[in-house]
Structure 1
Amino acid sequence: MSEYLSLLKYYRDPHLAKALRIKIHEIAKKIDEGIMIMHVCGSHEWTITHYGIRSLLPDNVEVRAGPGCPVCITPATDIDDAVKLALDGIVVTTYGDMSRARGTKMSLEEAKALGGDVRVIYGVQDAVKMARREPNKQFLFFAVGMDTTAPATAFEILKGVPENLSFLVSYRYTPAIQGSVMESNVLGIDAFISAGHSVTITGLKPYYGYFLNSKKPMVATGFEPIDVLMSIYMILKQIEEGTPKIENEYTRSVTWEGNVKAQEVMEKVFDLEDGYVRGVAVFPKAGFRLKDDFNKINAREQYGLKDRSKTSDEYVAGARCGEVVMGLIDPPECPLYMKSCKPEDPKGAPMVSQEGTCWIWAMHKLVNVSPRCRR
């Protein structure tokens, strides 16, 4: 424990942060144009916001939040399917923040108020235990998240799950989402901070092809303030020297190959197909699908659900959630932000989840923190 606290103190050292700030400003002065950096992780957004990292950056360096919140990117049509099953008498298990995100009509929490049996759990193991304890009921695990949580579900499936438990899979593959944004010039992103927990699973290897096509700097990053500041410095150094590359700041967890055992487990259970990111677009090879061998526990097959996850769906009228998710705007630029849409009464998914940009900004009482808002 003392070793952990010592390490934590190092990664939150204000003197080290000040030294990195000076280095960032020095190198930014050598770069004439503005630099736009995108991260794709709600945990990174929390760190950046909580520790006021944007306020430490020079005016020509901006960090945007990208599509890294699992709840925010889950298609509304998938939520609709889970709601329908809950109202049809199926016991639906899912995470707390996912239960509050609304589909096109309502959330699972609202379905529970109407009589549906919706249970908040901490992980897939809870769903397995509940199904075993109550064999006379049909259970569903609403499997949402990224490649960070998919291995645990795959592992449970391979071990064997109760016959009365099925899975509505809505996982997304981070490398494919970030990679597509890397290859696109629409958003004007110059470099990327990659989610440390995701890259711990996938490794850096899946990003190599996207990097070759884009030649945009990418740094795998941990979740402490020193991690983030160091990764920004590493990115600026690449840009200033004209040597874009894939780098690893999070060496205490991330490797080139990643967690090979977790990858093997996922590959035995899931195939990758095109996946819809709510309010944004369909990304090639970004969606997880249960292999045909597991059709007996696939809720889409078991209950005749149409896969509508590649179709467009909308957030609440007037909201600009999709633009927030893709980093096109900051939360205060949405007309509903902190007016009709607040943490205690969220309208859009980015205000529901603790990894959602709107929730993070609202809880930190932030209004104008980015250069785009300051102008």
Structure 2
Amino acid sequence: MKYVDEYRSGAEARRFIAAIRRVVTRPWSIMEVCGGQTHAIVRFGIEELLPPEVSLLHGPGCPVCVTPCEILDQALALAGRPEVTFCSYGDMLRVPGSDGDLFTVKAKGGDVRVVYSALDALALARQNPAREVVFLAVGFETTAPAHAMAAHRARIDRVRNFSLLVSHVLVPPALAAILSASDRRVDGFLAAGHVCTIMGTDEYERLARDYGVPIVVTGFEPLDLLQGIHMCLRQLEEGRAVVTNQYERAVGPRGNEAARRLLHEVFEVVPRRWRGLGELPASGLALRPSFAAFDATLRFGMSAGAAAEPAECISGLVLQGRKRPTDCPAFGTRCTPDSPVGATMVSAEGACAAYFRYRPRSARDVV
């Protein structure tokens, strides 16, 4: 049965590749907006299967990668405080700040814990009332509802020793920033299916209309991506620019309305600084004043100072789709997953980590 399934998948892939080759008549550049999609594209060699007229650009879809250095510096400062138990997802522990990473703080004796969810951190706070438990809440609309639930439960249960260091970002403003560039290089987008599972597809309609760009909500398997690329190319060749949904098995126009209501209750939209894109208006989430008691920056009197990225790191250009990882002189030498210079080499969703793991340097790495 497994052989039959693999044969059917292979036949379906060949069908999509043939359809893509038939439809393309000129060069097009399509950007995927999810680090999981980037890894699937690189791992399965999808770009090598496409005609040379089609270029895939890797966008700012890795939540670890777009978290700015100054948030990491705040995390390092909090994790180093003797009264704090600092909790985070594991892939954030090796992201470099201005002076080290969370693993470094842990090695020096800081109480740094890897958790699977913000609710795990909330449970730690309940179990250790004498400790201040801080959770690093980063990511897109995908992870934000779970973090909102942790703050919601903490307020209901009156957990006084729990707080969030929030650096949530929103996808549509980042796409608008990329499309507004004077030297725009993106002709179409593959939107992240898991974000749209929460938020729906409605909020992408304005982007498609105002910028004249097709947006295809796409899943994460190779067949999802090939079908999404084909759907996007058909629009481009036909001169259309609308939102279409390849990922209908999981995504509806309105998304998950219960999750959206919870987001609105706990968070408000604010300007947010992104690694690689700078500060974008209305591009982030912060705790509402009614949840200020759970804001770690207020609880510990922290301010966000400017923090410079390493001079040789081009992760910002990689996140904008302007460079490929192999364009960086440090790639694979001074910058590796074991010794990362930038965030895009750390995360399991980072483009640099994907290239290092799955793809040798080749002629198609030249932009």
Q: TM-score range by the shorter chain?
A: over 0.9
Partner of 1:135: 129
* 2:69 paired with 1:76: yes
Give the direction of change, closer, same or farther, for the CA distance of 1:341–1:11 in structure 2 (3 Å limit).
farther
Which runs of 5 or more structure 1 residues have no equivalent in the other structure? none
Cα distance, 1:12 vs structure 2: 7.6
Partner of 2:45: 52
Cα distance, 1:83 vs structure 2: 0.6
Distance in 1 between the 2:46 and 2:69 partners? 33
The question of whether the paired residues in 2 share the 8 Å contact of 1:11 and 1:226 is answered with no
* 2:135 paired with 1:174: no
Please give the per-residue CA displacement for 1:77-100, whole angstroms capped at 9, x wherever unaligned.
Answer: 111011111112211100111011
**Structural mapping, 1:161-240, within 5 Å:** 162-240=159-237
Cα distance, 1:178 vs structure 2: 2.0
> Number of aligned pairs?
363
Which runs of 5 or more structure 2 residues have no equivalent in the other structure? none
Give the direction of change, closer, same or farther, for the CA distance of 1:259–1:11 in structure 2 (3 Å limit).
farther
Distance in 2 between the 1:16 and 1:267 partners? 41
Distance in 1 between the 2:34 and 2:366 partners? 20
* 2:344 paired with 1:350: yes
Please give the per-residue CA displacement for 1:133-157, whole angstroms capped at 9, x wherever unaligned.
Answer: 1111111001011110000111122
Distance in 2 between the 1:182 and 1:11 partners? 39
Letter in 2 for 1:24: I
The question of whether the paired residues in 2 share the 8 Å contact of 1:350 and 1:359 is answered with yes
Cα distance, 1:10 vs structure 2: 7.5
Please give the TM-score of this superposition, normalised by the length of structure 1: 0.92
Partner of 2:114: 120
After superposition, the CA RMSD in angstroms is 1.9
Cα distance, 1:204 vs structure 2: 0.8
Cα distance, 1:75 vs structure 2: 0.9
Distance in 1 between the 2:364 and 2:219 partners? 22
Cα distance, 1:42 vs structure 2: 0.5
Give identity over the alignment, percent. 35
Distance in 1 between the 2:142 and 2:7 partners? 23
Distance in 2 between the 1:293 and 1:369 partners? 54
Distance in 2 between the 1:243 and 1:10 partners? 34
**Structural mapping, 1:307-322, within 5 Å:** 307-308=304-305, 313-322=307-316
The question of whether the paired residues in 1 share the 8 Å contact of 2:106 and 2:112 is answered with yes
Cα distance, 1:58 vs structure 2: 0.7
1:40 paired residue among 16, 33, 56: 33
The question of whether the paired residues in 2 share the 8 Å contact of 1:91 and 1:117 is answered with yes
SS of match in other structure, 2:251? coil
SS of match in other structure, 1:100? coil
Partner of 2:14: 18
Please give the TM-score of this superposition, normalised by the length of structure 2: 0.94
Letter in 1 for 2:160: E
